[in-house]
Amino acid sequence: MKIQQGASPSVSILIMIAVGLVIGVCTAAIVQGTGLGGRAVALLSGGAAVLVASFLRFKVMRGSHPGGAAEGSLVGTMVIYGLISTVAGGLAGHDIYNLFDARLPALLGAIAGLLSVCVMSIAMITFHEDRRL
């Protein structure tokens, strides 16, 4: 599948959002019975979502977009962005979850995963836009 160069940020965001939601829910469902607190579940869900979504995004973008291959040399940058987005998205997701007084751990995982991958997407798009200038 050939992706136009102008569409790549949109495709990148859609891949990360879809995968982030699914992985966040699955991670929260797996760790809900371990006795971990809400913040730990949110951080684990956000971290797993960022890790898996970034990996899949890299694989898809590398195969369909020539500029995606350059991300292989940015491992340190991706790790730092991943850690920041995991903490920011996971803790924000936990606070939003508590704001609505929800009691479903899967919802906590979905919110944390979604917010974490959104922060990661914004960081990577900003990084790539800065390199084009």
**Per-residue pLDDT of the chain in tens (133 residues, 90 and over written 9):** 444 454 466 777 888 899 999 999 999 999 988 888 899 999 999 999 999 998 888 787 776 655 555 555 677 888 899 999 999 999 999 999 999 888 888 999 999 999 999 999 888 888 766 665 5
pLDDT of res. 29? 93
Q: ∠ CA 24-27-97 to the nearest 5 degrees?
A: 55
pLDDT of res. 66? 58
Output the pTM of the full model: 0.83
- Encoded tokens for 76: 């340190």
Element (H, E) at 37: none
pLDDT of res. 115? 96
Q: Locate all alpha helices (DSSP H) within the chain, ordered by sequence.
A: 8-31, 38-64, 75-99, 105-132
